[in-house]
């Protein structure tokens, strides 16, 4: 179970300094430095939502919407500027490390150690989660089956294809049987077979009562897979609900149209 309340993350970005010209006149020799200035902005802006057991919640939004930043905070990688996160009854403001045992977090830029085989990698991660040896071997067997990794489980990771590497990255998140999955674009750039095995996995885990939160750019995939959808734009949630609710509310036929109609209007469906 995931509960997020009023979550924000501020970053600093470099923007054009509108007053640069005036400053340049005064201090002409160091003009370059004065063309830009630093500015704080909210990559995630007061976001609240929840996801229950047995639910797949999809996060959709264009590039730069704040999806990865949001997921990195939930994965315990980034510290929020404000707001609360509760995952599987662990309150992050009190102790985000205990919660990690219950989470399988797949980041968008996971780097795996190329000289290891998937089996060696999974053994290492099982050890990090303080699992017993027998428990690790049993889990590797299960995970290998679930992610269809039999053919390459003992090959070097540096020799695997993109899809095989992504399945290995996901397997790494499953080894300790977490209750909650947080996946950043798990099917990005994969062929239909590799993405189908990941989608089937998410469905299977949902049916086993797990919570799956994942981000994607593939609207059609989200429409058929997700129980609930969150649409983000410029750090804010601009709409949320079941795919059917969203289509009804915007009088559109698919999520792509929902998003385009909302982004064009610059409006939200969930303003309180």
Angle between helices 243-250 and 255-265 (to 10 degrees): 50
Please choose, out of 61-69, 134-142, 151-159, 264-272, the segment that lies near ligand ATP by the rule CB under 6 A.
61-69
CA angle 212, 218, 224 (to 5 degrees): 60
Minimum distance from residue 62 beta carbon to ligand ATP (Å): 7
Q: Which is nearer to ligand ATP, 38 or 264 (CB)?
A: 38
Please choose, out of 24-32, 63-71, 98-106, 237-245, the segment that lies near ligand ATP by the rule CB under 6 A.
63-71
Structure-block tokens of residue 223 = 């429409």
Q: Yes or no: say if 1 and 87 are a contact pair by the CB < 8 Å rule.
A: yes
Q: What are the DSSP E strand ranges found in 153-257?
A: 180-184, 211-216, 228-233, 236-241
Question: Would you count residue 67 as binding ligand ATP (CB under 6 A)?
Answer: yes
Residue 204 CA to residue 103 CA, distance in Å, equals: 17
Binding residue for ligand ATP, selected from 4, 7, 43, 122, defined by CB under 6 A: 43
DSSP character for 110? -
Minimum distance from residue 231 beta carbon to ligand ATP (Å): 11
Question: Would you count residue 69 as binding ligand ATP (CB under 6 A)?
Answer: yes
Minimum distance from residue 108 beta carbon to ligand ATP (Å): 6
Q: Which is nearer to ligand ATP, 61 or 126 (CB)?
A: 61
Which of the residues 7 through 26 are near ligand ATP (CB under 6 A)?
11, 13
Question: Would you count residue 63 as binding ligand ATP (CB under 6 A)?
Answer: yes
β-strands 90-91, 82-87 pairing: antiparallel
DSSP 3-state assignment of 242?
Answer: coil
Structure-block tokens of residue 87 = 């995952």
Binding site for ligand ATP (CB under 6 A): 11, 13, 43, 61, 63-69
């Amino acid at each position: 179970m995931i509960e997020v309340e009023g979550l924000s993350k501020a970053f600093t970005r470099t923007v054009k300094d509108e007053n640069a010209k005036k400053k340049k006149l005064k201090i002409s020799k160091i003009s370059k430095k004065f063309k830009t200035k630093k500015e704080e902005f909210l990559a995630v802006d007061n976001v609240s939502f929840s996801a229950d057991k047995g639910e797949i919640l999809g996060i959709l939004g264009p590039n730069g919407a704040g999806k990865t930043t949001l997921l990195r905070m939930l994965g315990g990688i980034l510290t929020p500027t404000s707001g609360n996160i509760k995952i599987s009854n662990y309150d992050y403001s009190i102790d985000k490390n205990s919660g990690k045992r219950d989470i399988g977090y797949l980041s968008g830029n996971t780097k795996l150690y190329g000289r290891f085989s998937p089996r060696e990698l999974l053994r290492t991660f099982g050890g990090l989660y303080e699992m017993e040896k027998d428990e690790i071997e049993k889990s590797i067997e299960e995970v290998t089956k679930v992610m269809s990794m039999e053919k390459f489980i003992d090959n070097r990771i540096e020799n695997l294809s993109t899809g095989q590497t992504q399945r290995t990255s996901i397997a790494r998140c499953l080894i300790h049987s977490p209750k909650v999955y947080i996946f950043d674009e798990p099917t990005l750039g994969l062929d239909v077979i590799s993405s189908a095995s990941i989608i089937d996995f998410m469905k299977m885990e949902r049916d086993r009562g797990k919570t799956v939160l994942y981000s994607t750019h593939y609207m059609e995939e989200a429409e058929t897979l997700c129980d609930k959808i969150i649409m983000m734009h410029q750090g804010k949630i601009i709409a949320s609900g079941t795919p059917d609710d969203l289509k009804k509310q915007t009088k559109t036929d698919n999520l792509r149209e929902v998003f385009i109609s909302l982004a064009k209007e610059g409006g939200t469906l969930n303003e309180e």
